[in-house]
Structure 1
Amino acid sequence: MPYLEVGIGSALGAVCRMLTGVAVGGMSMPVFPWATLIVNVLGSWLIARFATHAMLNDSGHVARLHGFLIAGFCGGFTTFSLFSLEAVQLALDGHQALAAGYVALSVPLWLVAAWWGDSAARRAQARRG
């Protein structure tokens, strides 16, 4: 059963990633990989939010859906491999400064988003008492 939960979560996360790419692709400059940046920042927030919530509420719904939400959905939604490919492709296409900026911007944003997700879960838990 856990494999099925992770598989379904991964499929849903990947579809959401693709839909985000389609939505963002029509609104942004085509050279910069905005969609991947957005899904990875949002995914960093989500995974930290879910993981911290599950840790603080080990018998709650999020803890029971850990495989579906964290390994599955967040794993299928975020994409380090595409980020790597896009950074390399930008550099190979002659956009070295843009590639360097993409890498330099992405990692700190992911970390800040994860910190923010963790903080949001801790604040929610404190409000619940």
Structure 2
Amino acid sequence: MRWANHGNPPPRRVEKSDAQWRALLSPEQYRITRQKGTEAAHSSEMCGLFEPGRYQCACCGTPLFDAGTKFQSRSGWPSFASPLSEGVVAYHRDDSHGMQRIETTCQVCDAHLGHVFPDGPPPTGLRYCINALALRKEG
């Protein structure tokens, strides 16, 4: 994915101090979004919810995904075929844990979201595997 090497421009920026993020987020949300953690597989009911609406970044409220691109991946995390628009998700090479992956973060506030994999459905062929605690459903 070219953006992992060259970046993509954000629509805006939200920056807060570590203390401000800690005050805003639950301890588990902070661990996942600010410390690049991962929630346990199948720990959220969000995996099985397919109602219309949009999913925002839990940290800054930026709309990231539309429910119309959400699909049942059976991976244990909410999965989407594409973000709402090109500028809202950032991509970074992640060589941790002996794997080569592409990490996804909120382009606006740098919150860790999850990873993107090349095994999703058409038309994108991508699976955005996202921590439920990094998202909040709107609408």
> What range describes the TM-score normalised by the shorter chain of this pair?
under 0.3
TM-score normalized by structure 2? 0.23
TM-score normalized by structure 1? 0.24
Indicate the structure with greater helix content.
1
